[in-house]
Structure 1
Amino acid sequence: MKPKPHILLTGASGTVGQEVLKQLCRLRESYQITVFDIKSASSLKVLSPFRDKAEIVYGDISVFEDIKKVCINKDFVIHLAAIIPPLADENPGL
């Protein structure tokens, strides 16, 4: 049996990311799902209902090693993570 394609979803605790994660979970018979998000009180709350449907990995998109590690053996990446204002305005290099 051929292994299921493995999808990495970043930014799943955001507004758009939550909706994409809900849709992917409906298709989990066809895909293996890994979520990558920053660990915060908000993301823990938002992502907790999906613990049995997707692998949840916490890290920081601005840390290269975190990204490199989570991307291993993934077939597709849906990248929705972003640095938003006011942090983005204060640190445009992010």
Structure 2
Amino acid sequence: MGANTASPRDRPRRPAQRRERGMITAVRSRSMLTLAEVCEELSVSRSTFYDWRAKRRAPRCIKLPNGDLRIRRSDLDHWLDDCEDAACWRPRTT
């Protein structure tokens, strides 16, 4: 074989290209978090999050056509800031 001849093993395969596209998609979707990611970050159960959502105390959610929820990273950060601000103004009970 000559130096310029590529063997079949050296050629890029389709699955690798798909994985690469998936990685690009993953980078784009980091601004959108899954419910599991949000619950993990907040250290709460899924049922607690749904309770908060029913009481309108959860961060703003986007409901996808398949029924799954997504939360924008910016909405979660804003919600956390609001929670922090609210905690500062609450009178402490001892």
TM-score (ref. length: structure 1): 0.21
TM-score (ref. length: structure 2): 0.21
| Higher strand residue share | 1
Tell which has more relative contact order, 1 or 2 (C-alpha 8 A, sep 6+). Answer: 1
| Higher helix residue share | 2
